[in-house]
């Protein structure tokens, strides 16, 4: 678990957290010149401009893709999800339960396992990475 890969160009570093990825393919469908799931490494930072990459990473529904600016003065982690008030919850048809907002997730012993602004929780019960969605709903043909 906790598989994290980083891909960089001169301006940004894209961070992929495999355990959060729901494998919906939005990254590859939106910017196939950069996100190539069938290749290794699967992220080619030379395939588009930094602005295009930032725009596509912003669309990642699970938060598995995020980025950091490489410049010293921009040391914060970027996340486009606005955080104001209480979290928003969205049921994705035949897919995960998306939670947008500033939340902390604790395991059954009460240990903090993640602080996030965007999370996909499993609804189908088939995920090997519970409570998070891993895309298993597609293989069991979850229909809800």
At residue 27, the pLDDT reads 95
DSSP assignment letter at 35: B
Tell me if 125 is assigned to some domain: yes
Q: Provide the percentage of residues in the chain whose pLDDT is more than 90.
A: 39
Based on the fold, state whether residues 32 and 62 are members of the same structural domain: yes
Among the candidates 36, 52, 78, a domain finishes at 78
Kindly state whether residue 43 falls inside one of the protein's structural domains: yes
Query: Do 131 and 97 belong to one domain?
Result: yes
The residue range of the domain holding 107 is 88-139
Q: What are phi and psi of 7, to 5 degrees?
A: -130, 135
Question: CA-CA distance, 137 to 132, in Å (whole number)?
Answer: 12
Q: pTM for this one? A: 0.62
């Amino acid at each position: 678990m906790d598989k994290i890969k980083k891909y960089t160009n001169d301006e940004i570093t894209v961070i992929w957290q495999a355990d959060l990825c729901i494998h919906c393919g939005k990254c590859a469908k939106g910017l196939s010149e950069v996100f190539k799931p069938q290749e290794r490494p699967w992220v080619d930072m030379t395939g588009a401009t930094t602005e295009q990459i930032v725009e596509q990473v912003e669309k990642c529904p699970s938060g598995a893709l995020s980025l950091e600016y490489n410049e010293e003065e921009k040391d914060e982690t970027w996340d486009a999800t606005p955080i104001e008030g209480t979290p928003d919850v969205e049921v994705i048809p035949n897919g995960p339960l998306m939670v947008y907002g500033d939340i902390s997730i604790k395991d059954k012993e009460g240990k903090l396992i993640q602080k996030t602004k965007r999370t996909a929780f499993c609804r189908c019960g088939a995920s090997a990475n519970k409570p998070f969605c891993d895309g298993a709903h597609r293989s069991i043909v979850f229909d809800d």
